[in-house]
Amino acid sequence: MTITTQTDTAHKVINMTTKSEETVIETKQLCREFGQGDTLVKALSDANITIERGEFTAIIGPSGSGKSTLLQLIGGLDNPSSGDVFLDKKNISHMTGTELSDFRRDHIGFIFQAYNLIPVLSARENIEYIMLLQGVSASERKKRVDMLMHAVGLEGLGDRRPAELSGGQQQRVAVARAMVSKPSIILADEPTANLDSKTGADLLDMMKDLNEQQNMTFVFSTHDPKIMERARRIIRLVDGCVVDDERKA
């Protein structure tokens, strides 16, 4: 992954693309503003970012720095004020309505701080749900869910509803749900914020293993030092601007 700013010029679960310099996400002069006139806030300014397949990246910065805004724009959950977002070389910043919803469903996996599971569905049904929307066959759905539940340590818990699971188990369901559709990229917004230290570390180690073994692409928005320790690349934002880009050896 490369960044240009204004100031400096377990076992095999799903067959994934082998590691390569294949661009998954590219942003060009990406800006997001809120309000107008005296109340104008520039949440993100001229962000130019390229993320390659297989990256394990943390977007960090103080509260209000723009990291969640950047993640939402990359994921098509918000529209930029100006600039472009390309996912698998398609410009999602100009997509709207059903086109954007379908493209996001098929190409992006989301992991949220609050888990966002459907309370009336079992763990298995929560993981399976997106495949129902995609029209995946029942046999393929069962195959993928079984493999992923094994991979994330949820065997034997498939019939439990979210309220019957611990926070760590719910977040594992969310990870499996994000992965099951074979997305191009998985975006995680403060995924460990509601977990105790050990549970959070175990979950991150699991995601790190999946990244390394299956070449899954993860991008985190976070304050968590545990994520920063494990990330191979760190993007630092301050006042809506990318100020640092560090790739670890």
pLDDT of residue 159: 96
Residue extents of the structural domains in the chain: 2-9+19-247
**47 has a pLDDT exceeding 70:** yes
Given the structure tokens 């977040």, which residue do they identify? 171
Helices (H) and strands (E) in the chain, counts: 7, 11
pLDDT of residue 112: 86
Q: What is the pLDDT of residues 7-17, one digit of tens each?
A: 443 333 334 33
Q: What is the pLDDT of residues 101-117, one digit of tens each?
A: 999 989 999 998 888 99
Q: What is the pLDDT of residues 155-177, one digit of tens each?
A: 999 999 999 999 999 989 998 99
- Superfamily of domain 2-9+19-247 in CATH is P-loop containing nucleotide triphosphate hydrolases (3.40.50.300)
Q: State what percent of residues in the chain have pLDDT above 70.
A: 92
Q: What's phi and psi for 145, nearest 5 deg?
A: -65, -45
